[in-house]
Amino acid sequence: MSLIKNNKGNIRKTLDWLSEEIKPSFDLVYKPLHIDDKHAELLYIKTVVDGAQLQQLVIKPFFELGNDRHVEAYLNSLPNLQDIEAKEQILLELTKGSVIVAIRNQLLLLDLKRVKSDSVLETMIEPTIQGPQLSLSEDIATNINLIRQRYHKPSLKVETMDIGEKTHLTLAILYDEEVVLNEVLDSIKNKLKSIKPQTVQSTMELNRLLNDKKRSLMPIMMMTERTDRVVYNLAGGKVILLLDGSHTTVLAPAVFFDFMSSMDDKYGSYWITKFLKLLRYFGLFACLILPGLYVAATSYNPEVFRVELALSVAGSRIGVPYPSFIEVLFLLVFMELLTEASIRLPKAVTGTATTVGGLILGQAATEAALASNIMIIIVGAVAISTFVIPINEMSFAIRVVRFILLAFSSFAGLAGLLFGLIGLLMYLAQLDSFGEPYFKIYLQSKRTETERTST
């Protein structure tokens, strides 16, 4: 602050420099206020500043208060007052929606942002039956407010920094100081400092930027829009990253099992949630191995299953022109297309797409003997099982893994399938998320497992 204080010429120069920097923009406003011996100057960008608030907080009191000193004291007492560190910082803040007030040889920077995107959205990505129905907004201040409202603890720390060489978005790092794993926190901070992206638009982009391995299949951070999940993870010692303009947060470190949990698991009664979890893991398993298993069982080891099954598979394959793995691949790819189409299409058309694709295509494919009946059942089962995985990113990853397993089992039958599964397991086991092992079985309590990172 001392940099610019008490020097009339200096203030003049700064204001000139600022307006020079922003100049060609139409929405730059330079407004001197003058009455009696009171004198002040305002500089701001019209489109990002809340005009009503400006009027209410700055302009009106200026004319009502007795003299310069009163106005200055009043402005200094406002909660919106920001610290000034450098000229460049002022410039940056102006673009974000702050107002510069020059009064009595002093520059004051007031945060009077106008945010149009602070309405809280409904949960779209991770719906649950129980639990809060509202998620986050696209404004970081609102989001921090929402989280703080659910987590009343002085040890909750919010650190902010700018990210993006061009966009300079605010990134907030939230953690509970008491439970957070310090190595993880340091490693995240260091990585955030070391990356220099041009633009960052979504929290999920951070997932990729913070991953050491550039080509990675599995997400090592978890994206969520649910405040209850955020709070649950904060209490569990995780670090939350919030990005301005994004209505999702990312949590780190994340382990494989996090992606298989739904917040409903917290709310239901014991046996029900256990059953649902079991169902979910069964779904995961089924959608991973079913296509591969079909190929292995029809083309390599038909003697493994019962004779009745073997005969009915053989019967339903009569007339199918291609080998089993082409048949599976064909239908799986179409199923993937269907899934992809229903994501990208406008909501109104999605229903039609699924009907046309699922019912008509499937029916016609068996009629035309392009695929066997049993294959259609399997593809259907696989599709449904994929949707059971609660977190989207994991379900996307699993969709890819499925094809790899299919390849292995087309090349080596049941043995290939099993090798593929073990390979997948090894891949997961050697991953780590900010120093925490990505895939390990948690048998003991969570604390002992994470503290004992040495073993």
Residue 367 touches another protein, criterion: CB under 8 A: no
Residue 425 touches another protein, criterion: CB under 8 A: yes
Quote the least distance from Cβ 417 to another protein, whole Å: 9
Which span sits near another protein by CB under 8 A: 126-134, 221-229, 340-348, 404-412?
404-412
Which span sits near another protein by CB under 8 A: 92-100, 258-266, 389-397, 405-413?
405-413
Q: Using CB under 8 A as the criterion, what x/- string covers residues 161-200 for binding another protein?
A: ----------------------------------------
Give how far the C-alpha of residue 179 lies from the chain's centroid of Cα atoms, to the nearest Å. Answer: 22
Quote the least distance from Cβ 394 to another protein, whole Å: 17
Q: Please pick, from the candidates 116, 215, 344, 347, the single residue that binds another protein as defined by CB under 8 A.
A: 215
Coil/strand/helix, residue 99: strand
Residue 426 touches another protein, criterion: CB under 8 A: yes
Q: 248 to 277, contacts with another protein by CB under 8 A?
A: none
Q: Which residue number, 330 or 411, has a Cβ lying nearer to another protein?
A: 411
Q: Which residue number, 74 or 330, has a Cβ lying nearer to another protein?
A: 330
Residue 214 touches another protein, criterion: CB under 8 A: yes
Secondary structure (DSSP) of 234-275 = HHTT-EEEEETT-S-EEEES--GGGGG--THHHHS-HHHHHH
Cβ 233 vs Cβ 219: under 8 Å: no
Q: Please pick, from the candidates 190, 193, 429, 435, the single residue that binds another protein as defined by CB under 8 A.
A: 429
- CA 95-100-102 angle, to 5 degrees, is 160
Residue 381 touches another protein, criterion: CB under 8 A: no
Which span sits near another protein by CB under 8 A: 4-12, 352-360, 388-396, 425-433?
425-433
Quote the least distance from Cβ 390 to another protein, whole Å: 21
Q: 298 to 337, contacts with another protein by CB under 8 A?
A: 298-308, 310-320, 323-324
Quote the least distance from Cβ 215 to another protein, whole Å: 7
Quote the least distance from Cβ 378 to another protein, whole Å: 14
**Rounded to the nearest 5°, which phi and psi values hold at 178?**
-70, -35
Q: Which residue number, 141 or 374, has a Cβ lying nearer to another protein?
A: 374
**Rounded to the nearest 5°, which phi and psi values hold at 72?**
-60, -45
Which strands, in side-by-side order, build the sheet including 169-176?
A: 156-163, 169-176, 239-243, 249-252, 222-224
Secondary structure (DSSP) of 336-354 = HHHHHHHHHS-HHHHHHHH
Q: Which residue number, 120 or 377, has a Cβ lying nearer to another protein?
A: 377
**What six digits make up the tokens of 95?**
């673009």
**What six digits make up the tokens of 322?**
């291609």
Q: Which residue number, 249 or 316, has a Cβ lying nearer to another protein?
A: 316
Residue 414 touches another protein, criterion: CB under 8 A: yes
Which span sits near another protein by CB under 8 A: 142-150, 222-230, 395-403, 440-448?
440-448
Residue 208 touches another protein, criterion: CB under 8 A: no
Residue 353 touches another protein, criterion: CB under 8 A: no
Q: Which residue number, 35 or 318, has a Cβ lying nearer to another protein?
A: 318
CA distances from residue 231 to 14, 129, 222, 364 in whole angstroms, order as listed? 44, 18, 14, 49
Residue 441 touches another protein, criterion: CB under 8 A: yes
Spell out the long-range contacts of 128-132 with Cβ–Cβ below 8 A and sequence spacing 24 or more.
Answer: 128/226, 128/262, 128/263, 128/264, 128/267, 129/264, 130/264, 130/267, 130/268, 131/226, 131/228, 131/263, 131/264, 131/266, 131/267, 132/226, 132/227, 132/228
Residue 437 touches another protein, criterion: CB under 8 A: yes
Extended strands (E) in 105-168: 106-111, 156-163
**What six digits make up the tokens of 382?**
């696989």
Rounded CA separation 398/4 (Å)? 57
Rounded CA separation 22/256 (Å)? 48
Which span sits near another protein by CB under 8 A: 41-49, 91-99, 274-282, 415-423?
415-423
Number of residues that make up the chain = 455
How many residues interact with another protein (rule CB under 8 A)? 52
Q: Is the peptide bond before 127 cis (omega within 30 degrees of 0)?
A: no
Residue 46: DSSP 8-state: G
The residue ranges that bind another protein (CB under 8 A) are 214-215, 297-308, 310-320, 323-324, 407-408, 410-416, 418-419, 422-423, 425-426, 429-430, 437, 439-441, 443, 452, 454-455
